[in-house]
Amino acid sequence: MITGATSGIGLACARKFAKGGYAVILTGRNEEKLRNIENELKALQADVLTLAFDVRDRTAATAAVESLPEQWKAIDVLINNAGLALGLEPEYEGDWHDWETMIDTNIKGLLTMTRLVVPAMVERNSGHVINIGSVAGDAAYANGNVYCATKAAVKVLSDGLRIDVAHSAVRVTNLKPGLVETNFSNVRFHGDTDRAANVYRGVKPLTGDDIADVAFFAASAPEHVQIAEVLILATHQANGSTIHREL
């Protein structure tokens, strides 16, 4: 099951895991995009099921998971990918709505999906949770404040879940991408394409496929191997704020 599967890292994971032999459950808010991706993957002979809901809506998420046909209920891998950044302003000038959307999606949405899916994994003594965190969760960068805080929460929640399921064979992985060129920056800047393009100017960023490769590697490790955390950076990126650009 992959949340936020209609674009970026989520879409790349959908393609990677489907091509890797997994039956995939794809979730997202845009039903039309989900249908198009479903058709694309089914053309590759993949088993695909789509669920259209917003992870911020606990009632809708619960109904969606409970609606799964019997043969789809045993989720082996949950990729908590749904997330976003909104705005890039000093904390004292931030937008209330942007803050609430990030917190509700990046933290509460992840918690909702974890709470709905992981109990069955523990009961079966098998499963893997892969959370998509960020280098932003390691240290704040200028004007990143609330977004960085949400990704720090993803790290702590991943660590906490790993402790909570240590008695079982359930594995927990936190992936922390750096600069990845998706629609991430376009969303952050509310559709300002020029400003979004500047984020990647002068450097070769990661792609969604790069992160999907790492997620698939973690899921494919032997059962006794738990890849707890991976920081993935572009070659010319040292951390969340240090990037060498050739302009």
Active site residues: 147
Distance between CA atoms of residues 95 and 156, nearest Å:
25
CA dihedral sign, ordered 60, 52, 17, 153: negative
End-to-end CA distance of the chain: 40
Q: At what angle do helices 31-42 and 8-19 cross, to 10 degrees?
A: 30
Write the single-letter amino acid at 149. A
DSSP letter for 130, please.
Answer: E
Could you identify the residue written with the tokens 């994994």? 121
Distance between CA atoms of residues 75 and 130, nearest Å:
12
